[in-house]
Amino acid sequence: MVVCILNMSLADNIKHFRTLKQLSQPQLADKASLSKGYVYMLESGEMTNPSIEKLSSIADALECTIADLIGQPKTKAKIKTAFEIPVGLQEFARRKKREGDPLDESDLKSLAYTQYRGKRPQTADDWAYVYEFLKRTLER
């Protein structure tokens, strides 16, 4: 069981959890997909404001939470799970279903959040173009 130590700095907490896991700085860097220098800068206090993505990588590598790393009590976030599916995307999804190639929910969600320069595709044909482009690009 990992115990959160409140009122310690980020640097101290990273070092604490790293030593609990019996990892060296280079081993932690490797597990978190970060550079050794970056881990050193965090532990030495030179770097005090890492991105949430980097904190998440470190927390995963140390098998703790971001709250543990920053010395805060754990809280549950209320996450809004409903998402809006634009009308044109709904029409495109129905078309794909009629063609016998329905979109799975993860594709539909990903497309629903797709924007380019702050704008979304509007028509079913626009969505079809975006979907085919992404599908071809990511299948390479």
pLDDT of residue 44: 93
pLDDT of residue 3: 52
Distance CA(17)–CA(66), nearest Å, equals: 12
pLDDT of residue 81: 55
**Which of 88, 86, 85, 87 has the alpha carbon at shortest distance from 125?**
88
Please count the structural domains in the chain: 2
pLDDT in tens, the chain (140 residues): 445 455 678 999 999 999 999 999 999 999 999 999 999 999 999 988 899 999 999 999 999 999 889 888 777 666 555 668 889 999 999 999 999 999 988 888 889 888 878 888 999 999 999 999 988 888 86
DSSP code of residue 103: P
pLDDT of residue 117: 81
pLDDT of residue 6: 55
Query: Does 80 reside within a domain?
Result: no
- Return phi, psi of residue 6, to 5°: -75, 155
Domain identity same for 63 and 98: no
Distance CA(23)–CA(18), nearest Å, equals: 5
CATH number of the domain within which 38 lies: 1.10.260.40
Query: Does 50 reside within a domain?
Result: yes
Cα-based distances in Å from 52 to 5, 10, 32, 125 = 19, 13, 13, 36
Q: Which amino acid is at 137?
A: T
pLDDT of residue 90: 93
pLDDT of residue 80: 56
Domain identity same for 20 and 49: yes
Query: Does 19 reside within a domain?
Result: yes
Report the 10 Å Cβ neighbour count for 92. Answer: 25
For the whole model, what pTM was predicted? 0.51
Domain identity same for 21 and 46: yes
Cβ–Cβ < 8 Å for 10, 69: yes
pLDDT of residue 92: 94
pLDDT of residue 30: 96
Domain identity same for 26 and 56: yes
Domain identity same for 15 and 51: yes
Query: Does 79 reside within a domain?
Result: no
Query: Does 28 reside within a domain?
Result: yes
Provide the residue range defining the domain that includes 53.
Answer: 10-70
3-state SS, 1-30, equals: CCCCCCCCCHHHHHHHHHHHCCCCHHHHHH
Tell me which of 70, 100, 120 is where a domain ends: 70
